[in-house]
A and B are shown apart, each in its own frame.
Chain A
Amino acid sequence: MERNPGGTPAVAPPAALPPVAEAVGLRKSYTQSAETVEAVRGIDLALAAGEFAALVGASGSGKTTLLNLLGCLDRPTGGVIRIMGREVQSLPEKDLTEIRRRRIGFVFQDASLIPTLTALENVGLPLAFGRGHEGARDPIEALDAVGLADKARRHPNELSGGERQRVAIARAIVHRPALLLADEPTGNLDQENGLKIFSLVRALVATGGPAALVATHNQELAALADRRLFMRDGRFIAGGGDR
């Protein structure tokens, strides 16, 4: 059962819904300086609708690779990925683009805003490509949801680090994705701003927003999530599998 386009909470409890994102025996290896690096080694994961999970691990533990695989930015070398029940690991690029455009929202460590666009235009960026964004939020509404509607016309260099990251979150939810993936969104922020970002994600998920998987190495922030997944050397060492 898919989340309705209005973004209101589904009638059935989250546990009764099929996973928004699912990984079975997921593997990813690549060659670096003539050596094969196993970045992800047989991950099993199911992320349910309405769930907020934290991915905890040190640098190089495989968090980013896992997020890239789940977000259809990269292809696995083994295993299965399902997004909204559809296997995606072998889909052509065109279909992966469509899934990213409609189902997935990304937040990156450095916000990755386009400096020449205003905050509002950065939020509207995912709607600038392709057609058929029925049910998408108005960019100003998405900006309002992160408390920055009054700074819509500002450029990224006129915003603080925390504000930039909130704009990036607004951009990630403007098309009402089913899955929000955030890679160390608080990595460049102080504890106070980091807390604000995690609280914001928590609030978005709680009010019928997307399922969220947020990578962090901050245990204190991770404690705010419904579930914590601990990664080391490309494997879950705790919290993996189904909920």
Chain B
Amino acid sequence: MRGIPSHVRLVSADLGRRPLRTALAVLGVALSTALLLGTLGLHAGYIRSLDSTIDRMGFQVLVTAKGCPYEAASLVMRGGNVPMYIDETTFDTILSDPDVAEATRIFMQGMPGGSMNRVMVFLGVDDQFRRLKPWMTLQRGEWYTGPEAPEAILGYNAAVTLGLNLGDRLPVGPAHRDLTVRGVFDRSGTQDDGMIFLPLRFAQELFDRQGKLTGAGVRLKSLDRVDGFLKRMFELPSVQALTLTQFRSTVMEFVGTSRLLLLLSALVAAVIGGLGFLNAMTMSVAERFREFGLMKAVGASPASLFGLTLLQTGCLGLLGGLSGIAGIAAGGWAIEALVRRLVPFAPSGPLLDLQPSIVAVSFLGSVLLAVAAGFYPAARAALVSPARALRHGA
């Protein structure tokens, strides 16, 4: 029969009655959802990118000059100016260690340059680099003609950002020496994409650090022997060694604490959002006491009115949840950019990972929050006395 309003129709008709209140109630749930989704998504994205970055370093142990090993590790991983050096003779000692399978010299320098005067990160590498990172393949061009050649191979993003191609020249270093672009690496999805690779000897000379290294990346024959290797490194003067697993653990401790704080913030936001929602729904029910009385008079049972009110809160939760997810999906880049500016170490790769399971948890959380906040107003609607409501509207 035409003209019988469904429960969904009854709910949708009421939602349009007070558009501002409806919008605010939805906004409260949307913010709670966005905060929960953002927190969980950032945590998952951070871990994934950190693991990917560590995996793609190509070595398990980083040996640097004495100082804060975590600062040195984070600088090496994200690219930057590391103001501490070890002698190349130390590298030879490391290489001769019986547990070392491969080792590469690392010489890293950062300096302003390019058309936008942004910080360019230069990495002096030797042939060992290609053995430790076999996935770094040349998209175009060739490897250096020699260890002292004034040539550069650009990371994929660096080539795009600087707008350079094979054969182009790039003035760098304190003396503004011209480099010739010799090749461009394929996209690797790591911090290497943003770097400018130079032949090691040329890089040391360019920055006037002959015989010096930022550090050494070491791959061991077996990880079971890492303790013995670290002990031997500890005995060497002026150097320290840190496994990337230790670095990951330390970063994760920090991230775990931050995550807990963010989750607590999300919880507080959810409680505030839920209370606002509860208030909006209670007001809505109070304003409609007479209508609920009328519905009872024409045959609605308490269970029907309870269900109707809960359906309304569920719909608002649904709308809020979807809005929150859409908001994060649309504005995730801004959150990511903000996090990159605020945290001391942000790995390359996407920091916000909106996995389906996280989206589902956040969405269900928002709907449940709305439904839970709807219980009290729904109970009030169900318990309306029709005679009293129709006479007094209360």
Q: Given the complex of chains A and B, what is the CA–CA distance between A121 and B298 in angstroms? A: 13
- A138 at the A/B interface (Cβ < 8 Å)? yes
Which residues of B in the span 290-317 have a Cβ within 8 Å of any Cβ on A? 290-291, 294-302, 304
- A152 at the A/B interface (Cβ < 8 Å)? yes
Q: Find out whether the CB atom of A129 lies under 8 angstroms from the CB atom of B14.
A: no
Q: How far is the CB of A17 from chain B (nearest CB, A)?
A: 24
Q: Given the complex of chains A and B, what is the CA–CA distance between A73 and B298 in angstroms? A: 10
A97-B3 contact given A112-B390, A116-B17, CB 8 Å threshold: no
Which segment of A100-108, A194-202, A204-212 sits at the interface?
Answer: A100-108
Q: Find out whether the CB atom of B304 lies under 8 angstroms from the CB atom of A106.
A: no
- A185 at the A/B interface (Cβ < 8 Å)? no
Q: Chain A contacts of B301 at CB under 8 A? A: 93-94, 97, 129-130
Which residues of A in the span 175-196 have a Cβ within 8 Å of any Cβ on B? 175
Which residues of B in the span 269-328 have a Cβ within 8 Å of any Cβ on A? 290-291, 294-302, 304
* A125, closest chain B residue (CB): B298
Other-chain residue from B1, B2, B16, B298 in contact with A129 (beta carbon distance below 8 A):
B298
Known interface pairs A115-B17, A136-B1; 14 further A-B residue pairs with C-beta atoms within 8 A, sorted by A's residue number? A68-B387, A71-B297, A100-B297, A116-B14, A120-B2, A121-B5, A123-B3, A125-B295, A125-B298, A129-B295, A129-B304, A130-B304, A138-B3, A175-B299
Binding site for B on A (CB under 8 A): 64, 68, 71, 73-74, 93-94, 97-98, 100-102, 106, 108, 112, 114-117, 120-121, 123-130, 136, 138-140, 143, 152, 171, 175
Q: Given the complex of chains A and B, what is the CA–CA distance between A6 and B3 in angstroms? A: 20
Please list 26 pairs of residues, one from A and one from B, whose beta carbons are closer than 8 Å in the complex, sorted by A's number. Answer: A74-B385, A97-B296, A97-B301, A100-B296, A102-B299, A112-B294, A114-B13, A114-B294, A115-B17, A116-B13, A116-B17, A117-B10, A120-B2, A124-B1, A124-B5, A126-B299, A127-B1, A128-B4, A128-B300, A129-B295, A129-B298, A129-B301, A129-B304, A136-B1, A138-B1, A175-B299
Q: Find out whether the CB atom of B299 lies under 8 angstroms from the CB atom of A73.
A: no
Q: Chain A contacts of B93 at CB under 8 A? A: none
- B7 at the A/B interface (Cβ < 8 Å)? yes
- B386 at the A/B interface (Cβ < 8 Å)? yes
Q: Given the complex of chains A and B, what is the CA–CA distance between A106 and B386 in angstroms? A: 12
Q: How far is the CB of A76 from chain B (nearest CB, A)?
A: 12
- B176 at the A/B interface (Cβ < 8 Å)? no
Q: Chain B contacts of A102 at CB under 8 A? A: 299
Which residues of B in the span 1-32 have a Cβ within 8 Å of any Cβ on A? 1-7, 9-10, 13-14, 16-17
Q: Chain B contacts of A108 at CB under 8 A? A: 294, 390
Which residues of B in the span 142-158 have a Cβ within 8 Å of any Cβ on A? none
A120-B291 contact given A94-B301, A100-B296, CB 8 Å threshold: no
* B294, closest chain A residue (CB): A112
* A99, closest chain B residue (CB): B299
Q: Find out whether the CB atom of A73 lies under 8 angstroms from the CB atom of B297.
A: yes
Q: Chain A contacts of B295 at CB under 8 A? A: 125, 129
* A68, closest chain B residue (CB): B387
* B17, closest chain A residue (CB): A116
Q: Given the complex of chains A and B, what is the CA–CA distance between A129 and B9 in angstroms? A: 13
Q: Chain B contacts of A94 at CB under 8 A? A: 301
Q: How far is the CB of B381 from chain A (nearest CB, A)?
A: 13
Q: Chain B contacts of A127 at CB under 8 A? A: 1, 4
A139-B2 contact given A94-B301, A97-B300, A101-B298, CB 8 Å threshold: yes
Q: Find out whether the CB atom of A125 lies under 8 angstroms from the CB atom of B297.
A: no
Q: Find out whether the CB atom of B387 lies under 8 angstroms from the CB atom of A73.
A: yes
A106-B298 contact given A114-B291, A139-B3, A152-B3, CB 8 Å threshold: yes
Q: Find out whether the CB atom of B5 lies under 8 angstroms from the CB atom of A106.
A: no
Which residues of B in the span 350-394 have a Cβ within 8 Å of any Cβ on A? 385-387, 390-391
Q: How far is the CB of A132 from chain B (nearest CB, A)?
A: 11
Q: Which 8 A-B pairs have the closest CB atoms?
A: A101-B299, A139-B3, A116-B13, A124-B4, A120-B3, A124-B3, A126-B298, A74-B387
Q: How far is the CB of B285 from chain A (nearest CB, A)?
A: 14
Q: Given the complex of chains A and B, what is the CA–CA distance between A71 and B10 in angstroms? A: 24
Most buried by B among A71, A102, A126, A152: A126
Q: Given the complex of chains A and B, what is the CA–CA distance between A106 and B293 in angstroms? A: 12
Q: Chain B contacts of A97 at CB under 8 A? A: 296, 299-302
Q: Find out whether the CB atom of B300 lies under 8 angstroms from the CB atom of A129.
A: yes
* A175, closest chain B residue (CB): B299
* A114, closest chain B residue (CB): B291
A140-B387 contact given A106-B297, A129-B300, A129-B301, CB 8 Å threshold: no
Other-chain residue from A73, A116, A117, A136 in contact with B390 (beta carbon distance below 8 A):
A73
Q: Given the complex of chains A and B, what is the CA–CA distance between A138 and B290 in angstroms? A: 26
Q: How far is the CB of B281 from chain A (nearest CB, A)?
A: 17
Q: Given the complex of chains A and B, what is the CA–CA distance between A125 and B7 in angstroms? A: 10
* A130, closest chain B residue (CB): B299
Q: Given the complex of chains A and B, what is the CA–CA distance between A17 and B13 in angstroms? A: 43
Q: Find out whether the CB atom of A128 lies under 8 angstroms from the CB atom of B296.
A: no
Q: Chain B contacts of A93 at CB under 8 A? A: 301-302
* A111, closest chain B residue (CB): B294
Q: How far is the CB of B83 from chain A (nearest CB, A)?
A: 70
Q: Given the complex of chains A and B, what is the CA–CA distance between A106 and B164 in angstroms? A: 83
